[in-house]
Amino acid sequence: MGSLEPAARDDRFPYDRIAPEQRWDRAVEQGGFDDYDPQGTVRFTFDRSTVFASAGSCFAHRIASSLLGSSLRYLQAEPGPAWLDGAQRAQYNYGPLPARFGNVYTSLQLLQLLRRACGSYVPQEHAWEAGDGYADAFRPHVQPGGFETVPLLLRDRAFHLAAVNRMFRELDVFIFTLGLTEVWRARADGAAFPRCPGRGLGRFDADRYELENLGVAENVRYLREFLAELRAINPGAKVVLSVSPVPMAATVDAPHVARASAYAKAVLRAAAEEVVCADAGTDYFAAYELVTSPYFGATLFEPDRRHVSAAGVERVMRMFYRHYLKDVPVAAAPPHDERTPYAVHAAPCDEDDVLNLLA
DSSP string, 14-73: GGGS--GGGSHIIIIITS-GGG-------S--B-TTPEEEEEESHHHHHHHHHHHTSSSE
Give me the pLDDT at residue 4, please: 61
Domain coordinates in residue numbering, the chain:
48-358
The sheet with strand 282-284 has its strands ordered as: 73-74, 51-56, 173-178, 238-243, 282-284
Give me the pLDDT at residue 349, please: 52
Give me the pLDDT at residue 345, please: 34
How many whole angstroms separate alpha carbon 156 and alpha carbon 45? Answer: 36
DSSP string, 85-149: -HHHHHHTT-SSSSSS-----SHHHHHHHHHHHHTS---S--EEEETTEEEETTSTTSSTT-BSS
Report cis status (omega within 30 of 0) of the bond before 123. no
Give me the pLDDT at residue 346, please: 38
Give the pTM: 0.89
Give me the pLDDT at residue 63, please: 83
Give me the pLDDT at residue 297, please: 73
Distances (CA, A) of 307 to 91, 214, 220, 303, 312: 21, 23, 26, 8, 10
Question: Are residues 201 and 255 in contact, defined by beta-carbon separation less than 8 angstroms?
Answer: no
3-state helix, strand, coil in the chain (%, to 5): 40, 15, 45
Question: Closest Cα to residue 330, out of 62, 43, 95?
Answer: 62
Pick out the chain residues at pLDDT < 70: 1-10, 327, 329-359
The crossing angle, in degrees rounded to 10, of helices 58-68 and 310-324 is 60
Give me the pLDDT at residue 66, please: 83
Give me the pLDDT at residue 351, please: 46
The crossing angle, in degrees rounded to 10, of helices 216-233 and 150-170 is 80
Give me the pLDDT at residue 359, please: 45
pLDDT digits (tens, 9 = 90+) for 161-218: 999 999 999 999 999 999 999 999 999 999 999 999 999 999 999 999 999 999 999 9
How many whole angstroms separate alpha carbon 148 and alpha carbon 151? Answer: 9
